[in-house]
Structure 1
Amino acid sequence: MKFSLILAAALVATASFSAQAQHRHKPGTAAHGHKAAGETHAHKSPHGGTVRTAGKYHIELVQQANELHVYLLDGKENALPVTKSTGSVMLLSTTNKTSKVVLTPANDHFVAAVPAGTTLRTAIVSLKANGSSLSARFEKLDAAAKAGKAVSAAYACPMNCEGSASDKPGSCPKCGMALVKKS
């Protein structure tokens, strides 16, 4: 009987410790806590979206009108080049319809077009980058949109190029023109 109680206490302590394990970065960088891969990231997101852990990387998802922007981030939350990476997003709508959308590279991130009239509930991002297969699940997207957390595009290309919408100034990923503030 005593042995069973000791064994049970050890199992509970081990489970509690492993659930609070820390994700360590390279020497000289800050460590931060993650409970498991894919969970919400404790740091502020660099582009105003939601950050999830994906192996030694992070994936940030930013919702915009009719599209998703996906950033591959390093341990210091800097966007990594996506030119040699590929990926897709599995979308689940609030009406329980699923669709798979290919991610298109655009400067330092990917863009995925959301089918018109779709209200997203969940997005599962899958990337192949730097020899690694990465994935992250983003849930409750419909609740975030209702709460006003979805980022609206404040800047766009004056030539109305597809995928040029952005929440910050910059240049169009297609034609290179300077983005202009929407009125």
Structure 2
Amino acid sequence: MKLFSISLTTAALFALAPLASQAQHSHAGGKPDAHTAPGETHAHVAPHGGVVRSANPYHMELVQHTGELHIYLLADKNASVPSKSLSGTVMVQTTDNKTMTVTLVAGGTDHLVAKLPARTKVRTAIVSLKADGKAINTRFDKLDAGAQGSKAVGAAYECPMKCEGSASSKPGTCPKCGMALVKKA
């Protein structure tokens, strides 16, 4: 019965975690980011080659390495927030549906690291950070779906003027110049 209760609690946390990252953020000029929904894979360039998600008022980048997850909290202009001001955990769901919670440790001056058991393949990661006394939570899904690029997965549209931050997974307008986004060649 205790195992069922733990499994039920874990399932509930994974189900509710997307709600933690639903706050919308703004870019230059205070305009809300219209090219991607809050908490989704973000159309910004990933400065460290990982996956970027919105995490109001920041962005968070997760980079997978063998046996480790590197977490970068990104402020304006994708500058990393110093790791000495951060603490947190990451709840990991593996490809074999096991879950574990790992404490993040400083991995340098600009990121935190979660050390994982050998040969762990991560499917989902829910990162919970504390920065300046504020809680910041973000969920990364489908991490086992393929190689991660330096840009967001599914960014098929861009501004014809190549404005920074215009990449999107769906049609719309450029948040900088207002031109209609076009399908990437």
Please give the range of the TM-score, normalised by the shorter of the 2 chains.
0.5 to 0.7
Aligned residues: 127
Matches within 5 A, 1:29-178: 32-33=33-34, 35-106=36-107, 107-144=109-146, 148-149=147-148
Q: 1:143 is paired with a residue of what secondary structure?
A: coil
Structure 2 CA distance for partners of 1:82 and 1:30, relative to 1, 3 Å: farther
**Residue in structure 2 matched with residue 24 of structure 1 by the alignment:** 26
Which residue identity lines up with residue 149 of structure 1 in the other structure? Q
1:62–1:150 CA contact under 8 A, matched in 2: no
Q: Which runs of 4+ in 1 moved over 4 A?
A: none
CA distance in 1, matches of 2:105, 2:120: 19
SS at match of 1:48: coil
**Match of 1:104, as an amino acid?**
V
SS at 1:76's partner residue? helix
Whole-Å Cα distance in 1 between the matches of residues 59 and 42 of structure 2? Answer: 8
TM-score, length of structure 2 as denominator length: 0.62
* Cα distance in 2 between the residues matched to 1:49 and 1:149: 6
Confirm or deny: 8 A CA contact 1:64 1:150 kept in the other structure. no
Q: Which has the larger radius of gyration?
A: 1
Measured against aligned partners, the alpha-carbon deviations of 1:52-99 in whole angstroms (never above 9, x if no partner) come to 111101110000111010000003211111202111100001111000
Rounded to whole Å, the distance in 2 between the matches of 1:136 and 1:30 is 21
Query: Partner of 2:144: helix, strand, or coil?
Result: helix
Instruction: Please give the alpha-carbon distance, in whole angstroms, between the structure 2 residues aligned to 1:97 and 1:65.
Output: 18
> Are the structure 2 counterparts of residues 30 and 79 from structure 1 closer, same or farther at C-alpha, using a change threshold of 3 Å?
farther
> 1:115 is matched by which residue type in structure 2?
P
In structure 1, runs of 5+ residues without a counterpart are 1-20, 152-183
Shift of 1:113: 0.8
Q: Which structure 2 residue ranges, 5 or more long, are not aligned?
A: 1-22, 151-185
TM norm structure 1 = 0.62
Tell me how large the CA RMSD over aligned residues is: 2.4
